Amino acid sequence: MAMIANKCKGTIVSVVDLNADRIAAWNSGNLPVYEPGLDEIVSQNRGKNLFFSTDVDEKIREADIIFISVNTPTKDYGAGSGQAADLRFVESCARGIAKAGGGDKIVVEKSTVPVRTAQMVKEILDSANNGYSYQVISNPEFLAEGTAMADLENPDRVLIGGDTSEEGQVAVEKVVSIYANWVEKERIITTNLWSSELSKLTANAFLAQRISSINAISALCEASEADVDEVAKAIGTDSRIGPKFLKSSIGFGGSCFQKDVLNLCYLCRHFGLPEVAGYWEQVIQMNEYQKERFVTRLLDSMFNTVSGKRLAILGFAFKKDTNDARESPAISICRRLLEEKANLAIYDPRVSKSSILSTLGWSEEQAEGRIHFCSTAEEACDRANAIALLTEWDEFKELNYASIYANMQQPAILFDGRNLLNLKSLREIGFRAHGIGRD
Ligand SMILES: NC(=O)c1ccc[n+]([C@@H]2O[C@H](COP(=O)([O-])OP(=O)(O)OC[C@H]3O[C@@H](n4cnc5c(N)ncnc54)[C@H](O)[C@@H]3O)[C@@H](O)[C@H]2O)c1
Q: Are 271 and 211 in contact (CB under 8 A)?
A: no
Q: Is residue 413 part of a domain?
A: yes
* CATH code for the domain in which residue 380 is found: 3.40.50.720
Residue 389 lies in a domain: yes
Q: Which long-range contacts (CB under 8 A, 24 or more apart) does 181-188 make?
A: 181/7, 181/8, 182/7, 182/153, 183/155, 183/158, 187/155, 187/156, 187/157, 187/158, 188/157, 188/158, 188/160
Q: Is residue 124 part of a domain?
A: no
Which residues constitute the domain of residue 410?
A: 302-434
CB 417 within 8 A of CB 215: no
Does 1 sit in the ligand 1 pocket, CB within 6 Å?
no
Residue in 1, 17, 152 to alter for ligand 1 test, most ligand atoms within 8 A of Cβ: 17
Q: Decide if 39 is inside a domain.
A: no
Confidence tier at 439 by pLDDT (50, 70, 90): confident
Phi-psi region of 169 (alpha: psi -120 to 50; beta: other; left: phi over 0): alpha
Q: Are strands 386-389 and 310-314 parallel, antiparallel or unpaired?
A: parallel
- Ligand 1 mean position, distance from CA 250 (Å): 26
HSE-CB at 349 with a 13 A cutoff on CA atoms is 13
- Work out the burial of residue 436: count CB atoms within 10 Å of its CB; fewer than 13 is exposed, 13-18 middle, 19 or more buried: buried
The answer to the question of residue 341 being in a domain is yes
Residue 306 domain-assigned (yes or no): yes
Q: 175 CA to middle of ligand 1, Å?
A: 20
The pLDDT value recorded for residue 363 is 97
Q: Do the domain assignments include residue 30?
A: no
What is the count of structural domains for the chain? 1
**Is residue 365 assigned to a domain?**
yes
Digit-coded pLDDT (tens) for 107-121: 999 999 999 999 999
134 CB-near residues (< 8 Å, 6+ apart): 97, 98, 104, 105, 106, 107, 122, 125, 126
Residue 139 sits at φ, ψ, to 5 deg, of -140, 75
Query: What atom of ligand 1 comes closest to residue 33's alpha carbon?
Result: 20
**Helix, strand, or coil here: 56?**
helix
pLDDT tens across 177-236, in order? 999 999 999 999 999 999 999 999 999 999 999 999 999 999 999 999 999 999 999 999
DSSP assignment letter at 404: H
- The per-residue pLDDT for range 321-365, each reduced to its tens digit, is 999 999 999 999 999 999 999 999 999 999 999 999 999 999 999
> Which ligand 1 atom sits nearest the alpha carbon of residue 89?
28
CA dist 439 and 420 (Å) reads 14
Q: State the distance from the centre of ligand 1 to the C-alpha of 90, rounded, in angstroms.
A: 10
pTM surpassing 0.85? Answer: yes
- Is residue 163 lining ligand 1, measured as CB closer than 6 Å? no
